[in-house]
Chains A and B, each alone.
Chain A
Amino acid sequence: MKKYIGIAIFIATLSLVSTCPAQERTSGTNSRGKPGFWASINNFFLPHPEQREILLEKQTLYFMVTVEKGENGWHHLVFNPNRGSQGIWNPQSPDELISNYCKYTTLFLQCIDQYPRRVLFVGLGAGIIPRFIRKHFPATTIDIIEIDGEIPGIAEQYFAFKKDDKTNITIGDGRDFINRNKLQYDIIFIDAYNAENIPFQLTTEEFYRKIRAALTPGGLMTANIANLGKPRFIASELKTIQSIFPNLAVFVCPEQTNYILFAPVNRKFDSTATMSKCADLENTSNPELDFKAMFNTRLKEEELKAMTSEAIILKDDFAPVETMK
């Protein structure tokens, strides 16, 4: 009898110990302003803020992927139940960029001096940005590394992503791909989230050093960091990237949902010199892109410094991204 009581106490202690950090981890708000653990249980019983039709529900090797159709007809790509959208697309206006992080990512246009010959995407998601690149740069070779072999098909079927003969998709881990890479890219886009985190091996100093080595001298790295209520992680990630790319420029999406990073290799992200460059783009093809407003959200050097002053540099040996808050 004593033994069973002992076992019960052991299991109870373990589960207590193990749920404490897990609860803290899921609390806080993410990009959709999503509530924490208990609130999401409450939400289960409350009506969803928007009625969405489920177009696809599929268990892949890595995610529970759903494609949802909102009341306004927009398609949402969602990894794992109740997580934020990984991509939003409007079938009525296929070239429109809807998510703020996509809009902000187009600021890369301000930072390139020449026609990009070859670009790399670490993480495909709904394929919204690759689509944007193909539309504006038909001659560019697009390489994509995506961990989940089912995602390209889903992006093609539900988000009008088109794979052509200048688009190469590799299925595998981004770190392994970069480790083995021998090509030089003009732009590398990094948006490699699983449901909750960036996998730690894609956050470290060593990783960004390899990214830098894979860029042409005039090249540019851009990354999306979602604000999932983990300021310590964001500060550390910014500090880590800045240690490799001293010219890092950081833009903050409205309501601080995402931090969009631009890291040119050998020059500054100079907004005044490049402002005029894409005025035509702004006016003709993508009226929803308000470059001026986006420019104004750039973190000032002092702000970035203050933010990262107490942060650590993430290394392969020590990158506790799952537990940093």
Chain B
Amino acid sequence: MHAANKSILYAIAFLIGFALMSYEILGVRVLSPYYGSSIYVWGAIISIFLSGLALGYEQGGKIADRIADLNVLRKIILIPALLITTFPVYGQPVCKLIYALELDSRASVLLLSIILFFIPCIFLGSVIPILVKMRAVDSQKIGSAAGDVYAMSTAGSITGTLVTSFFLISWLSVPKCFLLLGMFLIACWLLCVLFQLKSSKE
């Protein structure tokens, strides 16, 4: 594997981490006008994000055992990219629908988080084991491969958290933030496509 491929894997890990945490903070911003910013809104969103990730890691691991290349990565990334880019279209109607059921606030916010955030998180999570496998094929050092990928994705998460909460939310409206985030993921997808083309030429 080429050096370029190593940096592309890290770039994807970073962007995925960035998107994930940014998405989480925006999620709170979307739900607050309905449920407020009580501690259980945060609790519900964080737990649903983690559940999605857990399932994603597990499924991603299985996929990685079978096949781990830019092609499969590209397909997986495209789904959350589309879901997040189009969030402004379906987000508010879904919120209104669930809120109108007048369930207990906690149950309602959990249900809504599952509907809105669970699926993108599964896909974002499943990227990570695939990246680890792709990195490890090269070096035969699975430990450091996993460590590097997690470090990069966590660095992305830290950046995503800070950039979103400190800057994005004060610069752009929430729907525009979602669009921007979707663009990040589409950039990931494009990276995969470009390098696939490049490596097929070689």
CB-defined contacts of B102 to chain A, threshold 8 Å: 180
Taking a contact as CB atoms closer than 8 A, the residue among A17, A174, A316 that contacts B36 in the complex is: A174
- A317-B175 in contact (CB<8A): yes
- A175-B166 in contact (CB<8A): no
Given known A-B contacts A180-B102, A320-B169, A324-B170, A173 and B35 have beta carbons under 8 A apart: yes
Is B162 interfacial (CB 8 A cutoff)?
A: yes
- B173-A317 in contact (CB<8A): yes
| CA–CA, A200 and B102, complex, Å | 23
Is B105 interfacial (CB 8 A cutoff)?
A: yes
Residue on A nearest B165 in the bound complex, by CB? A322
State which residues 166-181 of A face B: CB under 8 Å: 172-176, 179-180
| CA–CA, A320 and B169, complex, Å | 6
- A176-B166 in contact (CB<8A): no
Taking a contact as CB atoms closer than 8 A, the residue among A173, A207, A315, A317 that contacts B38 in the complex is: A173
| CA–CA, A206 and B171, complex, Å | 20
Is A92 interfacial (CB 8 A cutoff)?
A: no
- A323-B35 in contact (CB<8A): no
A63 to chain B, nearest CB (A): 12
State which residues 12-45 of B face A: CB under 8 Å: 29, 32-39, 41
Residue on B nearest A199 in the bound complex, by CB? B37
- A318-B174 in contact (CB<8A): yes
Given known A-B contacts A14-B159, A172-B105, A324-B170, A206 and B36 have beta carbons under 8 A apart: no
Task: State the majority secondary structure of interface residues on B.
Answer: helix
CB-defined contacts of A21 to chain B, threshold 8 Å: 166
- A179-B39 in contact (CB<8A): no
Is B63 interfacial (CB 8 A cutoff)?
A: no
State which residues 269-325 of A face B: CB under 8 Å: 315-318, 320, 322-324
- B166-A317 in contact (CB<8A): no
Is A18 interfacial (CB 8 A cutoff)?
A: yes
Taking a contact as CB atoms closer than 8 A, the residue among B33, B155, B162 that contacts A175 in the complex is: B33
Number of A interface residues in the complex (CB < 8 A): 30
Is A46 interfacial (CB 8 A cutoff)?
A: no
Is A258 interfacial (CB 8 A cutoff)?
A: no
- A204-B33 in contact (CB<8A): yes
- B34-A147 in contact (CB<8A): no
CB-defined contacts of A199 to chain B, threshold 8 Å: 32, 36-37
CB-defined contacts of B162 to chain A, threshold 8 Å: 14, 17-18
Is A61 interfacial (CB 8 A cutoff)?
A: yes
| CA–CA, A133 and B94, complex, Å | 41
CB-defined contacts of B99 to chain A, threshold 8 Å: 179
State which residues 104-148 of B face A: CB under 8 Å: 105
- A175-B36 in contact (CB<8A): yes
Is A62 interfacial (CB 8 A cutoff)?
A: yes
- B33-A316 in contact (CB<8A): yes
Taking a contact as CB atoms closer than 8 A, the residue among A17, A179, A320 that contacts B170 in the complex is: A320
A-B contacts besides A175-B34, A175-B36, A176-B36, 4 pairs, CB < 8 Å: A10-B155, A18-B166, A206-B33, A207-B33
Top 8 A-B pairs, shortest CB-CB distance: A173-B36, A320-B170, A323-B170, A318-B173, A316-B33, A201-B32, A317-B173, A175-B36
The 25 listed contacts between A and B (C-beta, < 8 Å) are: A7-B151, A14-B159, A18-B166, A62-B39, A147-B36, A172-B36, A173-B36, A173-B37, A173-B38, A174-B36, A175-B36, A176-B35, A176-B36, A199-B32, A201-B36, A206-B33, A207-B33, A315-B173, A317-B175, A320-B169, A320-B171, A322-B170, A323-B166, A323-B169, A324-B170
